[in-house]
Homo-oligomer: A and B are copies of this chain.
């Protein structure tokens, strides 16, 4: 399978760096990501295809469903199939697989065959109510589905070089562009209830150079929440009802983005929205919009983000609540929401290379995102709680089940995980003038042009288990260029060795990057040692649920305790400051990982309790030891209670 460089990006961008796209990065990791991506490729993609097939999602594009048949089409379905197509396309470029390619082309052809003469594609509306198209933007996800199909088409084109799906989606985008826009141009001043098309249109613009798509994305971003409110008008038109203020907030349509100072409403929508807005701000040079996004970024990451990178703390409308409200066991922290935060972070990082953005990407990747799928690749979390009692599985709705599930009725998370893992390469490197940024530490090769020079680099590491990262240059430079390596926010000490020699001057600048400028030659090596002691983490005093508790981290990895690794229910443990914490690499544990062994801890002597539900007799305590494992790997063995935050004293 051939990979294709997309067309040059014709942009008047203020972007400070440019991501090195997924197809210019070859991940050759044999550790964490190797394992996750291999399973994604070999298991998850097949399973998701089967689920899409079995539930009717794929055949819905035949547009021949009739009342009485099983699998009535649903308005979200196209997006699930689109994300699978996107994932399969990325994956095929790395792992050739004729069978998967056949499935991919079958699905793509079905989608394209469902296109209406005017360009419209939507299996739900075309089958069930063609006359109702675009009458319920607020709830029916038409443009959301369109956006995912656009992303899929771009990925399919990049992976295969075949243009028919891309062209079909351009025709659909042209239709949407002909319908939506300023009222002054006689267009519909609307936008979708679930953001997604904004960032997708920017991708389509980047892939094709068609500026109308960027302009339409900008329109969707800036029009949202303007008065008269489109959703209010639409609801009155359709049902003679006025939406509640809460429902507008849930969809981030209560105010224009420039007036939204805190992240509110449905977390996935917010993440996609802000990512799309950041794309627009970069491409158009809109400084005011960028400044506003920075404010929203700070609100999320400084007041509304779990230690794991999860966002959106309540299952009620899957939304943000208030500052510091980060309950552990009832955490929603939807897998898709954490992925959407990663998208937002990545756009911010491209606009302004600050290590804090890459830090959040890292936090999300190693914790709240990969917790979403089991090691076998066939079970998924929708919600990613930081404490859980899997015995509660009984009777709980799939999306809030504390045990991973094979699929969901609204199944956005599984294919979102698949496309993220398959396109992981794009988050590792970026280039800016004469600087090559190394944002993430993942074993990989890249080959790119840097200010006219060809640069070839190999990264080798067993990160996040190992502290050492080796970067090897395979190209001779005619002029100096800068290798900018991230000093992670969690790291107190970084050693830099260039060609074996310790660079005592190496420091991060204010952006959080260590900048090494040289006329690099083939064979040059940079070795980083990122000190990874086990750390005790405390939460802000306003995080009521974590007061008196401590969490363990090592490097970017958040740890948890599962019942199977303790002589007690993890909630009965206490971790005094005197406890001894040792990091141990366990090659056979959970696919190979570093565990934290804890000695001199304390536990309740449960067997000495009288048996009453409540008692005035204080329970007795005894010394104990236990093991903590990476949070993302929990619920892969015998189900048992789990907690990230442990009682401290």
Q: Is the CB of A616 within 8 A of B536?
A: yes
Given contacts A545-B571, A569-B544, contact A392 B536 (CB under 8 A): no
Binds B, one of A196-204, A317-325, A410-418: A317-325
Given contacts A322-B392, A392-B325, A535-B616, contact A609 B540 (CB under 8 A): yes
A537 interfacial by beta-carbon distance below 8 Å: yes
> A243: which B residues are within 8 A, CB to CB?
none
Q: Is the CB of B535 within 8 A of A547?
A: no
> A400: which B residues are within 8 A, CB to CB?
316
Q: Is the CB of B614 within 8 A of A307?
A: yes
> A319: which B residues are within 8 A, CB to CB?
395
Rounded to whole angstroms, the CA-CA distance of A316 and B400 in the bound complex is 10
Most chain B CB atoms below 10 A, which of A539, A540, A615: A540
Q: Is the CB of A394 within 8 A of B322?
A: yes
Rounded to whole angstroms, the CA-CA distance of A409 and B626 in the bound complex is 49
Rounded to whole angstroms, the CA-CA distance of A594 and B240 in the bound complex is 54
| Minimum Cβ distance to chain B for residue A399 (Å) | 11
A352 interfacial by beta-carbon distance below 8 Å: no
This chain's copy number in the assembly: 2
> A537: which B residues are within 8 A, CB to CB?
614-616
Q: Is the CB of B246 within 8 A of A395?
A: yes
Binds B, one of A104-112, A298-306, A340-348: A298-306
Given contacts A249-B395, A395-B246, A614-B537, contact A641 B544 (CB under 8 A): yes
Q: Is the CB of B649 within 8 A of A538?
A: no
Rounded to whole angstroms, the CA-CA distance of A301 and B612 in the bound complex is 10
A480 interfacial by beta-carbon distance below 8 Å: no
Chain B residue nearest in CB terms to A618: B538
Q: Is the CB of A327 within 8 A of B329?
A: yes
- The B-contacting residues of A in range 535-576, CB under 8 angstroms, are 535-545, 547-548, 550-551, 569, 571-572, 574
Chain B residue nearest in CB terms to A540: B613
Rounded to whole angstroms, the CA-CA distance of A395 and B574 in the bound complex is 36
Chain B residue nearest in CB terms to A320: B395
Q: Is the CB of B544 within 8 A of A616?
A: no
Most chain B CB atoms below 10 A, which of A387, A536, A544, A612: A544
Given contacts A647-B547, A647-B548, A649-B649, contact A572 B394 (CB under 8 A): no
Q: Is the CB of B321 within 8 A of A392?
A: yes
Rounded to whole angstroms, the CA-CA distance of A178 and B367 in the bound complex is 62
> A327: which B residues are within 8 A, CB to CB?
329-330
CB < 8 Å neighbour of A538 from B302, B616, B647: B616
CB < 8 Å neighbour of A614 from B246, B397, B540, B641: B540
Rounded to whole angstroms, the CA-CA distance of A158 and B257 in the bound complex is 63
A175 interfacial by beta-carbon distance below 8 Å: no
A604 interfacial by beta-carbon distance below 8 Å: yes
Rounded to whole angstroms, the CA-CA distance of A586 and B83 in the bound complex is 63
For chain A, the count of residues having a C-beta within 8 Å of the partner chain is 62
> A588: which B residues are within 8 A, CB to CB?
none
| Minimum Cβ distance to chain B for residue A469 (Å) | 22
A606 interfacial by beta-carbon distance below 8 Å: yes
Chain B residue nearest in CB terms to A245: B395
Q: Is the CB of B616 within 8 A of A547?
A: no
A34 interfacial by beta-carbon distance below 8 Å: no
> A523: which B residues are within 8 A, CB to CB?
none
Rounded to whole angstroms, the CA-CA distance of A357 and B302 in the bound complex is 50
CB < 8 Å neighbour of A305 from B301, B540, B551, B613: B613
A432 interfacial by beta-carbon distance below 8 Å: no
Rounded to whole angstroms, the CA-CA distance of A536 and B316 in the bound complex is 35
A451 interfacial by beta-carbon distance below 8 Å: no
Rounded to whole angstroms, the CA-CA distance of A249 and B395 in the bound complex is 10
| Minimum Cβ distance to chain B for residue A594 (Å) | 18
Q: Is the CB of A541 within 8 A of B392?
A: no
A389 interfacial by beta-carbon distance below 8 Å: yes
A598-623: contact bitstring with B at CB < 8 Å (1 yes, 0 no)? 00000010100101111111110000
- The B-contacting residues of A in range 471-516, CB under 8 angstroms, are none
Rounded to whole angstroms, the CA-CA distance of A609 and B547 in the bound complex is 13
| Minimum Cβ distance to chain B for residue A614 (Å) | 5
Q: Is the CB of A613 within 8 A of B548?
A: no
Given contacts A327-B329, A574-B548, contact A541 B609 (CB under 8 A): yes
Rounded to whole angstroms, the CA-CA distance of A145 and B426 in the bound complex is 61
A391 interfacial by beta-carbon distance below 8 Å: yes
A396 interfacial by beta-carbon distance below 8 Å: yes
Q: Is the CB of B604 within 8 A of A547?
A: yes
Given A246-B395, A249-B395, A303-B613, 13 more A-B residue pairs with CB atoms under 8 Å apart are: A301-B613, A305-B613, A321-B392, A322-B391, A325-B389, A325-B392, A536-B616, A536-B618, A539-B613, A539-B614, A540-B609, A547-B647, A577-B618
Enumerate 11 A-B pairs (CB-CB under 8 Å) in ascending A order. A301-B613, A302-B613, A321-B392, A321-B395, A327-B329, A329-B330, A537-B616, A540-B612, A540-B615, A544-B643, A547-B571
